[in-house]
Structure 1
């Protein structure tokens, strides 16, 4: 954001909820700008690819852990209820490996179960590693953690995702039988159970997003209040996109006609891409909120600007406190920067691909739109990346 002139006045807000309306306007404008400059669409595609490769090991881990407390048949039933809110084709892709995992969990005992679980978690860690890298880009950080620490973090994220899926599956299964548990509620119980399902998913999703935003980037952790807006946005956005995309696939999409037997895989990849995009957009929002205030947004005792161990916490957005905006140090070159038209390329590609599923002339028009957007994305002029000194860690106690 060097050289930008979006913020009208500096602020020392201690919480994003105490920011003025003009501050929020500046934050939203910069969030959209940074989403393009950080190539969020392209990064989300990479996260979706690694997430796809990690999906089967993750499902295996979920089944093995869940199978420790319930019967294998119940595991399959509960997980299918969890997947029922997603586009139908996703359940087709997941069903086979899930059935195999249920059978394996029924056979595995003792050390065999421990080894199988370890292999599954290790196989799924690359998906978590891709999320860690993507969040470093959103928060303008370079990765400095060692190989062992980084892999332990990826394994922890994978394990947390597995536990989250188990909690969600159990909660949704219970809510799905609310009418049987409380028959006196009648039809109201069904409506309440369905609404509660989405509320539970939203809360769990927001909690998982906030945890990722706090611990995944290589920086001094942000306080929870500075992670809340992006977490709520990502959770609500994910629910809306999941339901909307599911309706589109069920009523308008024709992926099987275009991709044949790969149609279900394309649906799954598209859903993973949209989910990753929303997660990263929430991170960009949180980063710009921290960038808007001069107050210390990191954990621990407050320290001056430049010594907080986080780029967005160490630098304040350009302001007019005293004449023209002061020169700001260049952001870390964590990702290639895009020009303004390229910021629209990712959503246009998705729109073109969706339109390409229609019959008749719309199919060819949609593919042409997607191709044109891809060409604009990869043939844009590049800005030279600027680098500058940046404190990388909070000073130790006693350091002047």
Structure 2
């Protein structure tokens, strides 16, 4: 049994690295053409539009769940600092009042109400994502899931994503506490440990994002073909998401003042742009898996 699992894991590792052999100019051109054909910008806008309505109840549900663990103010500030590394500051301002309200309320009552509402509302985002993935993976109409089945799976995906996010945030808090304890015991090496943790926090966060995207890619489409890449596209999407988020933060902070141009809705515009870039990165990762998977299948058929 152990030998079989080891052999299977080795095969998966080989297939993972084989995918990167297809990273060439021809693949890039095909991805651009397919992105235009499937209207990737339009699909991303649709997902971002649904996400703007689901963001606040989902944030309340996640923070309520974290509140059940009775985190200290320092731990809560650690979470905020980690999130602020990715989300533009103007977008975080929108949630500041909700966060303060949440901290002053009972976590248990908010968790029971907000969590159920958030999962239902968030299922519209995962539902739009599933429909977009079906287009990207060229699923025939007769193989597309019926509405009731798609809705149930969308709810399950939303639940899984929220729980994964809660687990990820708790890992960040526990890791930060562990680093502080070890640094306190290590004395002169404390500064080195803090610097190491500071540099590792972003790769850890991106790894969790990639796992969440892989979960969506695998279970979001109506029909999954065995051997199609999953994690290569998820890793690519996570890296692209981090790059686009960083560029947006830089542009908003250094180049343009959205509050002067758009007035009171400047923060809303920034949030919509960030959600749009997030959706675009996710769909582009799925498109990469689709294009490379088709190329790999053609090579197998020729052999």
TM-score range (shorter-chain normalised) is: 0.7 to 0.9
How far residue 99 of structure 1 moved from its aligned partner, in angstroms, is: 3.1
- Secondary structure (helix, strand or coil) at the match of 1:293 reads helix
Match of residue 158 from structure 1: 158
Identify the residue that residue 285 of structure 1 maps to in structure 2: 288
Question: After superposition, what is the alpha-carbon deviation per residue over 1:279-337, rounded to whole angstroms, capped at 9, x for unaligned?
Answer: 1111111001111123xxxxxxxxxxxxxxxxxxxxx49x9x7xxxxxxxxxxxxxxxx
TM value normalised by structure 2: 0.82
> CA–CA distance in 1 between the matches of 2:114 and 2:258?
35
Q: 1:245 to 1:19 in 2, by over 3 A?
A: closer
SS in 2 for 1:196: helix
Query: For residues 245 and 45 of structure 1, what CA distance do their matches in structure 2 show?
Result: 16
Query: What is the count of residue pairs matched by the alignment?
Result: 281
Bigger helix fraction: 2
Is residue 64–residue 108 contact of structure 2 (8 Å, CA) maintained in 1?
no
TM-aligned CA distance change 1:104 to 1:127, over 3 Å? farther
Question: Matched residue of 1:226: which SS?
Answer: coil
* Shift in Å, 1:206: 0.9
Q: Deviations over 1:355-393 (max 9, x none)?
A: xxxxxxxxxxxxxxxxxxxxxxxxxxxxxxxxxxxxxxx
If asked which structure has higher relative contact order (CA below 8 Å, sep 6+), I would say 2
- 1:99 is aligned to 2:100: yes
> Which residue of the partner structure matches residue 130 of structure 1?
128
* Residue in structure 1 matched with residue 263 of structure 2 by the alignment: 260
Conserved 8 A contact 2:48-2:279: yes
2:197 corresponds in structure 1 to 193
The TM-score, its normalising length taken from structure 1, stands at 0.64
Worse-superposed segment, 79-88 or 42-51: 79-88
Which of 219, 225, 235 matches 1:232?
235
Residue 278 of structure 2 is matched in structure 1 by 275
Q: Is the 8 A contact 2:58 2:115 kept in 1?
A: no
Residues 75 and 66 of structure 1, relative CA distance in 2, 3 Å threshold: farther
Instruction: Check if 1:36 corresponds to 2:36.
Output: yes
Q: What is the CA–CA distance in structure 1 between the aligned matches of 2:233 and 2:58, rounded to whole Å?
A: 25
Larger radius of gyration: 1
Q: Is this contact kept in 2: 1:63–1:105, CA < 8 A? A: no
Decide whether aligned partners of structure 1 residues 101 and 159 sit closer, same or farther in structure 2, where only a CA change above 3 A counts. Answer: farther
| Unpaired runs of at least 5, structure 1 | 1-13, 295-315, 322-400
Structure 2, unpaired ranges of 5+: 1-13
TM-superposition CA deviations, 1:229-282 (whole Å, max 9, x none): 111100111112222221221111210000111111111111111111111111
In the superposition, relative to structure 1, how do residues 97 and 148 fare at CA in structure 2: closer, same or farther (>3 Å)?
Answer: farther
